[in-house]
Structure 1
């Protein structure tokens, strides 16, 4: 089987193209796609616990910690202790972070609108159903893998 005949080839190829486009747009605002993604996942009013960002974004804690440090150094975010649980650190957007968040939001909307103009609602719904089925399958395969590891 040739690579272009596999499902993962098409998913990876497409995602790399999307990521390249988002990074090109973000670079115009002296940012990155990863930074924009974090900015979009922080609650603007309540802040967001740093520990909940990683799972939301599928990032490893070490990578996220590095990215949050860079974002704090650049003035996009600030960290505050949780008022009720001192073990938890809340991440808040600064005024500059809010501005950068708007750029990221605009890029996401621009991309999605462009796709919706070129791809029919029926095809998009089919795509979403297919991706959902693939994600469920991945969860099942991971469960099987971990089940096998625990019984080896």
Structure 2
């Protein structure tokens, strides 16, 4: 099926990217999920914990586990949200800022390598196709019929 489905290409590519990111993060005793969380936290104003999950596309349970680990490693700290006493803001520690910069460098290095080897036209088409796929999913235009295409 690998030559025939878009799904396979997406999954195989993302799995390779995730493995590469985890290998790089592992060099600093971290993970891709932690790096992504660090990049998603506003380094100056903090970020409401409730907005991190949707921003990262992560379920609450996984996010809670990730944040707990990040707190234990001294990457983040939590403070009550002054605008909403029920909420919590997540802030980076100085070590968190350092690791955020490392994570950003890993992402930018990957981005630069791809841009170096793929023409602007091909990359523009690639990004356009991915946006279209995301739009099809968001507007629920994929599974509109009761039966599958193979039946």
Give the TM-score normalised by structure 2. Answer: 0.92
Distance in 2, matches of 1:94 and 1:57, equals 20
Distance in 2, matches of 1:143 and 1:15, equals 21
The alignment status of 1:95 with 2:94, answered yes or no, reads: yes
Distance in 1, matches of 2:87 and 2:108, equals 32
Distance in 1, matches of 2:139 and 2:97, equals 38
The alignment status of 1:104 with 2:103, answered yes or no, reads: yes
| Further displaced range: 136-145 or 22-31 | 136-145
Residue of structure 2 equivalent to 1:71: 70
Q: Which runs of 4+ in 1 moved over 3 A?
A: 142-145
Distance in 2, matches of 1:139 and 1:82, equals 31
What residue ranges of structure 1 are gaps of 5+ in the alignment?
none
Give the TM-score normalised by structure 1. Answer: 0.91
Structure 1 residues 94-135: Cα deviation after superposition (integer angstroms, max 9, x where no partner): 011011111101100100000000000000000010000000
Structure 1 residues 76-101: Cα deviation after superposition (integer angstroms, max 9, x where no partner): 00000011211110000001101111
- Aligned partner of residue 87 in structure 1, secondary structure: strand
The size of the alignment, in residue pairs, is 145
Cα RMSD after superposing both structures: 1.5
What residue ranges of structure 2 are gaps of 5+ in the alignment?
147-151
